[in-house]
Chains A and B, each alone.
Chain A
Amino acid sequence: MRYAILLMGAPYSDQASHSALRFARALLARGHRLETVFFYHDGVYNAARLAAPPQDEPHLVDGWAALNAEHGVTLQVCIAAALRRGLMDEREASRHGKSGYSVEAPFELTGLGQLIDLGLQCDRLVTFGP
C-alpha cells in the first residue's frame, strides 16, 4: 500500500514524533511504500537543523533524513506553520532578512495543498499528534 504520514507533534515534547518514525520504519520493513512525511502544527520542529539532542537519545531529525536517503521518502514542511515558529530555509531566511536558517534539505518547505493532495492520492494517510 501507498502510505503517507501527517505529523503534528513537537519532537521530544510528545511521543508523536518517536511513534511516527517507528511506524515509518515498520511500514517499510513490511514492504509498503511510504511516499511522504508531512510536518504541520508543532510537527514542523522536527525539521530544525540545529537540533542537538543528548547522544543517548534518538536523533529524530537525522532519523527523518535517513528515511529520505534510504527510501526516497519526501519530507514536506508546511511553510506557513514553519515560518511563524522560526523555521525557514536559506531562501526564506534571506527573503525575511534573517542572518541564519534553520531548515535544510532533505526537508522542503511547501504549502498545505500538498497535504490535501497527498491525503487523497495515497491509500492511507496516518496522523500522529499530541
Chain B
Amino acid sequence: MRDGETPAGDLLVILRHGSHGTSWLREGLDAALVGAAFGREVALLFMGEGVLGLLEGQGQGALGQKGTGPTLEMLEMYDIEALYVEEQAMARYGLEQRDFLLAARHLDDTAIAELVERHALVLTF
C-alpha cells in the first residue's frame, strides 16, 4: 500500500491523539465530516499517537466517552476515502494493517511532507 503519489485535495485533517484521554480525535473527525458534507475533498492522516485511533473496537471508554468507531465507519458514507497512516508511528506502537478498522496507506516522512504540500487547508488535532 505504498507509492510516491498522493492525490491533491481541499482539506487534510491530521489526527495526533488517541481515542479517549482527550476530545481531540473526536473533534478532529467532526471537522473532517463537516468538510466532506460541504462537498470538499477530504483526506485524513493518522500520525503519532493518532494511529491508535484506527484500531479495531473503538467503543465507549471506561468513563462513558463516546467511541470513535461508529464515526470511522461513517467516513466512507461521506466519501472520505483518502486515509493515511504514519508508517513510523505504526512501527513504534507495533501495529500492522490487520489491526486497523479501515485500510489506510502507509506513508514515510517524505510522503507525509508531500501530502501536506498537496492540500489547500491543513487542520491538525
Q: Interface residues of B: mostly helix, strand, loop or mixed?
A: mixed
Contacts of B31 in A (CB 8 A): 40, 112, 115-116
Q: Check: A58 CB closer than 8 A to any chain B CB.
A: no
B30 touching A119, Cβ below 8 Å? no
Our count of residue pairs bridging A and B at CB distance below 8 angstroms stands at: 41
Chain B residue with the shortest CB-CB distance to A129: B124
State the Cβ distance, B21 to closest chain A Cβ, in Å.
13
Interface band, chain B: 10 to 19
CA distance A127 to B30 in the complex (A): 17
Number of A residues near B (Cβ < 8 Å) is: 16
Q: Check: A6 CB closer than 8 A to any chain B CB.
A: yes
Known A-B contacts A41-B24, A120-B10; the reply to A113 vs B121 at CB < 8 A is no
B27 touching A116, Cβ below 8 Å? no
Known A-B contacts A111-B34, A112-B34, A113-B37; the reply to A119 vs B27 at CB < 8 A is no
Q: Check: B120 CB closer than 8 A to any chain A CB.
A: yes
Known A-B contacts A119-B11, A120-B121, A127-B124; the reply to A41 vs B27 at CB < 8 A is yes
Q: Check: B35 CB closer than 8 A to any chain A CB.
A: yes
B123 touching A113, Cβ below 8 Å? no
Q: Interface residues of A: mostly helix, strand, loop or mixed?
A: helix
- Which chain A residues numbered 80 to 101 have a C-beta less than 8 Å away from chain B? 80-81
Binding site for B on A (CB under 8 A): 6, 40-41, 80-81, 111-113, 115-117, 119-120, 125, 127, 129
Counting from the closest, the 9 A-B pairs by CB-CB distance are A119-B121, A112-B34, A116-B35, A113-B38, A113-B34, A120-B121, A41-B27, A112-B31, A120-B120
New A-B contacts (5) at CB < 8 Å, excluding given A116-B35, A119-B120: A80-B30, A116-B11, A116-B121, A119-B121, A120-B40
22 contacts between A and B (CB under 8 A): A6-B123, A40-B27, A41-B125, A81-B27, A111-B34, A112-B34, A113-B38, A115-B34, A115-B123, A116-B11, A116-B31, A116-B34, A116-B35, A116-B121, A117-B38, A119-B123, A120-B10, A120-B11, A120-B40, A120-B120, A127-B124, A129-B124
